[in-house]
Structure 1
């Protein structure tokens, strides 16, 4: 087997590999559109499982805090989802100081504050809902993510189309290179 044969096979493999990835991305996009309610349920399930383990893993805690601060949300569908966490639930047997509270990342931010008040969520869910809205975000992260996705749909679609075009361009270049290798080999 010559070097040209090896190169030709490698570029064919690369082209087929890019084609398979493109097809899988296209399939995932169609399935995400068709099964959007299932994906929403899975996202809800994922967030609630992570709320249960909030204090168990510092990386998970940082991820949840970042998400809640970025999307200005609290819990999967609302602040009461924090009842799933042993430190934040409102049961009488919970002796934690954080009882009936939420993490600081659920708190509305005061632009005048330079230092984050990590205790701002304490007892927040014991207040009436009208008063809660002043102190914490009451919207859940799943609806906020859906809103963000709708607001930025053109940007998200543009990114996916750009990636798809790059993949198609890569497939075309690989096939062009294979043709050039075949032409050089035929001229010998």
Structure 2
């Protein structure tokens, strides 16, 4: 008889989980779903609140949004790893790109999930063994979305300077402005 992932959580001595996200409805839904899976959840919706929670009682697990109104969730991952090196943390964001994924993993995040992610995906990422191979996504990013993410990354690296970004991407400035004005493709 094999042990289910839910049973594995219940067998853990420390089931503390910090969820940091500024999307309040998502935060509440995910927190309730993770509580049903046996976690003791602490909710935070700002980097400052996340840092206070980590300093007060470093959790065994964390789900951290990348971009928040008052800063970057990577700061919370960094602090968590200082306070509790064995903690398992994942980055969850709607602004996924390779550079931030690499940074998050270097700082100790065990996975990087793009929004919208459901509670099952979050749970699976938190409980995955370090040598588990990731399951291919059901709905991977489209080529248009990958292009858009790359443009956004270069734009951020150029300190949101449209002319410099256009120069580096070998693109006309007006074309870049039109792309930046549009919503992200699916």
More helix by share: 1
- Which TM-score applies when normalising by structure 1? 0.24
Larger Rg computed on CA atoms: 1
Greater relative CO (CA pairs within 8 A, separation 6+):
1
- Which TM-score applies when normalising by structure 2? 0.24
